[in-house]
Structure formats: C-alpha cells, structure tokens
Chain A
Amino acid sequence: MSLAPDMSCADETVAALLAREPRAARVLLRHGLHCVGCAIAPFETIAEICAIYGVSLERLLVDLRDHGASETRETK
C-alpha cells in the first residue's frame, strides 16, 4: 500500500526544493528536468515545471517522497 504523495511541496519553487533537499536533484534529472543551476529555478514551482515539460506531477512527488526529498518544509 503506497502512501499518498506529499502535495504540499507542489507549490514550492524548484530552487527552494533543491536548497532544502539536494537529493531531489537526482529525482528531477530522472524525470528529464534539468533544473539544477537553471536561472529560472527560483521562479517556477514544481507544479509549473511539470506542466511545462509534460511530466506527471503525482509521479514526481511520489518519487521525491520515496527519496526522502519531500519532508514537509519548515514554515518561513
């Protein structure tokens, strides 16, 4: 039985995700998302880049969770 993905980080910017959890870089790459080092990573959310590049948001979030990259972030 698989747990539901953590939808809370869908609206997080890619740069914030990478800063919080560097291991996410590998997950993003595996989904064909070359966000690491990209100038616009601070301005796009995970949900947005999934929409732009036609990647399944749910599958990405599941992968991020499985790699311990989606712990609920601290509130700023």
Chain B
Amino acid sequence: MLENSLNARVATFVRARPARGGAGLRRVTQSNIQPMSVPQEATQLARQLVTVPLFKNLAPEILGPIIALGRLTPMSAGTFFFTEGDDAERFFVLTSGRVKLTQLTPEGHQVVLGHIGPGDAFGGVGAFGDPSYPVSAETVESSVALAWTSGTMQHVLETHPTVAINAIRFIADRLHDLQRRYRQLMTERVERRVARALLRLVRDAGRRVDTGVEIDFPVSRQDIAEMTGTTLYTVSRLMSSWEERGILSGGRQHIVLLRAHALVAIAEDLPTS
C-alpha cells in the first residue's frame, strides 16, 4: 500500500538525517521542519510519491528536484499544520497520518469540512494567490507532510504543466465532492422546513383523531410550498415519501400525522428511533 511504503520511506529518511548541533539528539527546529536537501534521498522519495495524485504522470527525474525543494514536516497528533486565518505561506502533501480540515462558526462551533489522507494535498490556496488559509488543518493522528513555500509551489506550477493539470483535477474532484454535499444539505434543509411547517399547523389547528393528529382545515401542498419557500414539486416529493413511510396520510387537502413523533425527529434533526 501507498501509505505503508510511504511511511517506511519517510521514517527512514527522517531518521537518516544527521543530528545538528551534536549531542546525539536531533534538535527540534523552530517549527519541527526537516530540510530535504539530499538529492539522492529526494529521488528515492520521489519514486514513492509518483502515486500521489498531484505528481501523477511525472517522471522520477523531474519529481526528484521538486521533492527536494520541499521539507518534511512531522507533527504529533492533535496539533495544527496551520489555523484558519494564518498567512498561507506553505503548501502540503500528506505522506502519512490523517488531517482534518475545520472551520469555526461565528458562534465558536467547530465544523469539520473534510479529512485528508496520505497522498492528498492541502493548504494550496497560497500557491494560487490567496493571502490566508480559509480553514485549519489539525492532525487526527501523528502525521508527516511534505511542505513547500507557496512561492516555490507557484513556480513549480508555472514550470511543470503536468503538476498544474493534476492540481486542477484534484480541485475538480473536491468541487464535485462539495457539490454533492451541498445538494444533500439543501434537500435536508427543505425536509426540515416542511416538517416544521406541518408541526406549526398542528400546533395552531391540530385535532386528535383515532389514527393520529389531524390538521383541522384544508391545506394544499401548494400552501405548504408557500409557507416554506419551496416548490410544489419538492413538497409533493417529500409528502409522498412520508406517506410511504407511514408518517402521515395526505388525502385531498386533508393531512393526518400518523406518527407525529417521527416528524418531530425530522424537524428537530433528532436521531430517528
């Protein structure tokens, strides 16, 4: 596996670095950075990194010098490669471990936007000219990344179109992923809005019947669409799916909540029992 071979390779490389300043112990530099200045070692590492998406289709002879411009950055678990708002000075490719990308909401809640695994690039905004990181990158386990300065990576992108194309492909993949998640989020939000609207109607005009709780006045799907700022089509689709699940029955403008608690769970985003 990539991860294992890469781990072994990186581990050897880190250990093989001579200690500086004597005393036998490797002195930890300011930000724990290992310079990659041995071309032969870099070429060796390059052989492993050809499988990294960003370096796909690059010959090891070309990749070697690019790798040599980077620095190996080992980090222990629960530490940050960078935090949201920091100057976007460096670009990373994770060689081992796992990193989560997070943002803080204005209320101070952490939102996890995604996870980075071995071979993935992160912190790339600087190479494309953004001044600061839009996210924080926190290690979930002890991790090692190859880091280049944003300026170096910008130069690499300019001189090696293959890397640039790989970067575009990588960004396109991320965009597809985000589009998929965005769509999920949108449909989820509409579902909650419609569930809440029905519960509002029940609160105002609910009537207990044998089978459940009835909304005691005629409500059309169009009415609900207008209450929730969505389309008739969306409301119809949702209500049909809820009917199939036995949550409600919706005859002609006549809605009965059969399993009102299931609707509360949807409206409040509770785990369904």
B261 cross-chain contacts in A, Cβ below 8 A: 40, 49, 52-53
B208 touches A39 (CB 8 A): no
A42 cross-chain contacts in B, Cβ below 8 A: 203, 206
B257 touches A53 (CB 8 A): no
Q: Which residues on A are within 8 Å of B, measured CB to CB?
A: 38-40, 42-44, 49, 52-53
> In whole Å, how far is A16's beta carbon from the nearest beta carbon of chain B?
12
> How long is the Cα–Cα vector from A38 to B273 in the complex, in angstroms?
17
B203 touches A39 (CB 8 A): yes
A38 touches B264 (CB 8 A): yes
Question: Interface code B203-218, partner A: CB below 8 Å = 1, 0 otherwise?
Answer: 1001010000100000
Q: A40-B202, A53-B273 are in contact. List 7 more A-B contacts (CB 8 A).
A: A39-B199, A39-B264, A40-B264, A42-B203, A43-B202, A43-B260, A53-B261
> How long is the Cα–Cα vector from A53 to B260 in the complex, in angstroms?
12
A40 touches B257 (CB 8 A): yes
> How long is the Cα–Cα vector from A73 to B119 in the complex, in angstroms?
68
User: Is B237 at the interface (CB under 8 A from chain A)?
Assistant: no
A39 cross-chain contacts in B, Cβ below 8 A: 199-200, 202-203, 206, 260, 264
Size of interface on B: residues with Cβ below 8 Å to A: 12
> How long is the Cα–Cα vector from A40 to B202 in the complex, in angstroms?
7
20 contacts across the A-B interface (CB closer than 8 A): A39-B199, A39-B200, A39-B202, A39-B203, A39-B260, A39-B264, A40-B199, A40-B202, A40-B206, A40-B260, A40-B261, A40-B264, A43-B202, A43-B206, A43-B208, A43-B213, A43-B260, A44-B260, A52-B261, A53-B261
> How long is the Cα–Cα vector from A52 to B264 in the complex, in angstroms?
13
A52 cross-chain contacts in B, Cβ below 8 A: 261
Listed from nearest, the 9 A-B pairs whose CB atoms lie closest are A39-B199, A39-B203, A40-B260, A43-B213, A43-B208, A39-B202, A52-B261, A43-B206, A40-B213
